Amino acid sequence: MQATLEKKSCKPKLPFHERAVVDQCSAVIRKRQENGMRPGMKSILSAFTALLLGLLPLAPALRADGPNGNPRIAGTVKAAVSTDLAPLFARQMKRIEERRASWLAKAAAAAPALFRAPVRPVAAVKVERDAASFQGWKTVAVGKPESVYDRPLPPGGSFILDFGEHLVGHLVLSVRAFDVPVDAPVRLSLIFGEVPAEVAEPFDPYPGTLTRSWLQDEVVNIDDVPQTIRLPRRYAFRYLKVTVVSCSTHGKFGFSGIRAEAVTSADEQRLRPFTPASDAEAALDRVSVRTLRDCMQTVFEDGPKRDRRLWLGDLRLQAQANYATYCNYDLVKRSLYILAGTATPQGLVGTCSFERPEPVRGGNSILDYTALFAPTVLEYLEASGDRATAEDLWPLVLKQLDFTLEPVSAEGLLVPPKGWWLFVDWHRTLDKQAPEHAIVLSGLKATLKLAEKIGKADEVTFIGEIIPRMESAARRDLWDDSLGLFISGPKREISWASQAWMVLAGVPSPIQARRALSGVLRHANAEKPVTPYMHHYVVEALLEAGLRDEGMAHLHAYWGGMLKKGADTFWEVYVPGDDFLSPYNSHLMNSYCHAWSCTPAYFLRRRMP
């Protein structure tokens, strides 16, 4: 996951209730234009719109100034409770600063050992166009991997090796000479691919919005032959394309061996046994576990190809899958402590953090990820029993409410704030109000539950006043009883995300929850998720609502769809019917082993009766 830079408009962004007025006036003007507008009518309507815009400042302003300042209390739900929260949050900030250095020290102490294993290619292949295959490419075996060894290679010579499954690690090349000494450097072009398209399509000209250097290609010069070299950079791949860019035509060279050194912090000896009920379950679990394994490095990475960093929202889903599989609690603890230790000077937890060369917070601030910090710490406590870490992180957990409740009005309704990245899903047009409201509410409830478990309930009595306000606001302003669905924003958008998160936040009654989820799955115009991340929460909501058959059917249909297209790890983005969808304007830039996709193992192992 990465943020893309967009050109900023010089026009201020309006709150949803203000945009609604403008949208309605604009719609009237357009309709009049279509039907034929009498002279002067357009100017009258335009003037009326301008008048309304002039009055809009009298409407409630956005209640959050963004993540880079000190959160305000006045005008928010925090000011509507009986407790003065300013001193409470100030005390948490003091404790955060006192503990920050120790948090980073504890993260360093929890650094895992990496398990290394040699992996050799299983076949030499070629890539052919095939309309029925994922992204229009398929691989065809042309020989054993040994067929490319021990033979002279000319300039321009090329071959592709298939390592049999996705792996993360380092490439080791062994080159040899023949009868005549090699009298010039050997220059090789190497391309690493997670999927066939990456070794079939040219990387340039590159149209994407993320940095081109994420694409996995290298030029390697070998001065001395024979020798064995281990490339220093780590790669994520299944396929390796080797092309001889230049070499001597007199002293010829060839390969005597090619292998990979796979790395992970996942201990296969600790993998919990699983008895699948079908071949389909076995396949889903196997690929889920492999996806998780390859993302488990010195932190839980979002993707070993890209971004290779720790993201809070991804971490939560990885940790859930980890508790059902490898049970590496120390890696979760290390990841939590890195996010905590790199919190901003205002106490905002890291949405994403880099671990090397020194831990540092990334530049992104995602409101919904911030709200998920409390559930992630709570679930860690429940899985590991490590109360000491939960108590240690408690001041930071509590401080996050200062941020997440800032955009919530005194009446309990979340007003989409400026300054924050509202993610929810890689959906370009999704209205975020309803799902963000529900995610903030979920984080609030998790904070209360965590407080009760570690003996801090007396510090958060105010939460008991805010929860009913937010639930009532959601039922009053975001629930349409005639539709039996939650709506979001000025256009009353209906989406899978809104229904799923409202159910997970406990807003609807059990009957309403089943009605909303069943209804949205049938709704032809509902906005659907585009990532396994949001599809995870759809499955979670279906199960939570007692719609187990529907939840497991969706799990098999969605993730099973990737398996049918040849996935041996689960992908960052998947929309059935569109193999090329990319948040980055390049399907080659997508991550095809992505952390937030690994949760079928969690559902199959933890949700089965």
H, E, C per residue of 58-106: HCCCCCCCCCCCCCCCCCEHHHHCCCCHHHHHHHHHHHHHHHHHHHHHH
Assign 217 a pLDDT band (cuts: 50, 70, 90): very high
- For 154, the enclosing helix (H) or strand (E) is none
Ranking 44-48, 166-170, 372-376 by mean pLDDT, the lowest is 44-48
Domain with CATH 2.60.120.260 in the chain: 115-264
pLDDT value at residue 69: 86
- Binned at pLDDT 50, 70 and 90, residue 23 comes out as very low
Q: Which helix (H) or strand (E) holds 118?
A: strand 115-119
How crowded is the C-beta side of 450, counted as CA atoms within 13 Å?
30
- Hey, what are 78's tokens? 């925090």
Residue 92 reports pLDDT greater than 60: yes
Q: Which CATH superfamily is domain 115-264 in?
A: Galactose-binding domain-like (2.60.120.260)
Report how far residue 273's alpha carbon sits from residue 82's, in angstroms, rounded to the nearest whole number.
51
Averaged pLDDT for residues 261-267: 98
Helices H, strands E: what count in the chain?
17, 14
SS3 138: strand
Residue 287: pLDDT over 80? yes
Q: CA-to-CA distance for 334 and 325, rounded, in angstroms?
A: 18
pLDDT of residue 606: 84
Question: Does residue 598 have a pLDDT over 80?
Answer: yes
Phi and psi, residue 204, nearest 5°: -120, 145
Average pLDDT over residues 19-36: 42
The pLDDT of residue 63 is 42
What average pLDDT does the chain have? 91
Q: How far is CA 465 from the centre of its chain?
A: 32
* CA separation for the pair 176, 164 (Å, rounded): 25
- Residue 261: its H or E element: strand 253-264
Q: For residues 588-605, b (16+ Cβ closer than 10 Å) or e, as one string?
A: bbbbbbbbbbbbbbbbbb
Q: What is the mean pLDDT of residues 213-240?
A: 98
**Euclidean distance between CA atoms 239 and 542, whole angstroms:** 37
At residue 528, does pLDDT exceed 50?
A: yes
Please compute the mean of the pLDDT values over residues 199-220 and round it to a whole number: 98
Query: Residue 149 burial by CB count (10 A; 0-12/13-18/19+): exposed, middle or buried?
Result: middle
| Alpha helix (H) residue ranges in 110-231 | 196-200
Which of these, 160, 28, 73, lies nearest to 402 by C-alpha position? 73
Q: Per DSSP, what are the bridge partners of residue 126? A: 140
Reported as a pLDDT band with limits 50, 70 and 90, residue 169 is very high
259 has pLDDT over 90: yes
Q: How far is the C-alpha of 371 from the C-alpha of 14, rounded, in Å? A: 24
pLDDT at 422 over 60: yes
Task: Quickly tell me which residue has 């394994």 as its tokens.
Answer: 293
Amino acid at 288: S
CA atoms within 13 A on the CB side of 139: 27
* H helix intervals, 478-524: 496-504, 510-522
pLDDT tens across 553-589, in order? 999 999 999 999 999 999 999 999 999 999 999 999 9
pLDDT tens digits, 265-285: 999 999 999 999 999 999 999
The verdict on whether omega for the bond into residue 205 sits within 30 degrees of 0, i.e. cis, is: yes
Q: Is the pLDDT of residue 27 over 60?
A: no
CB 500 within 8 A of CB 528: no
Q: What is the pLDDT of residue 68?
A: 84
Q: Give per-residue pLDDT as tens, 322-366.
A: 999 999 999 999 999 999 999 999 999 999 999 999 999 998 999
Q: Kindly indicate the confidence band of residue 67, based on its pLDDT and cuts at 50, 70 and 90.
A: confident
Q: What is the pLDDT of residue 9?
A: 32
- What's the rounded Cα separation, in Å, for the pair 568 and 167? 10
Taking each helix axis from N to C end, the angle separating 329-341 and 312-324, rounded to the nearest 10 degrees, works out to 170
Q: Give yes or no for residue 500 having a pLDDT over 50.
A: yes
CATH 1.50.10.10 residue spans of the chain: 78-111+267-606
Fold for the domain defined by 78-111+267-606? Glycosyltransferase (1.50.10)
Q: Average pLDDT, stretch 17-34?
A: 41
* Range 140-158 average pLDDT: 97
C-alpha distance from residue 415 to each of 17, 18, 407 (Å): 9, 11, 6
Beta pairing, strands 217-222 & 485-486: unpaired
Instruction: For residue 360, report the phi and psi dihedrals to the nearest 5 degrees.
Output: -150, 145
Residue 59 has pLDDT above 90, yes or no: no
Instruction: Give the pLDDT confidence score for residue 83 in this predicted structure.
Output: 87
The four Cα atoms 14, 15, 18, 24 give a dihedral, to 10 degrees, of 80
- Band (607; pLDDT cuts 50, 70, 90): low
Please compute the mean of the pLDDT values over residues 155-169 and round it to a whole number. 98
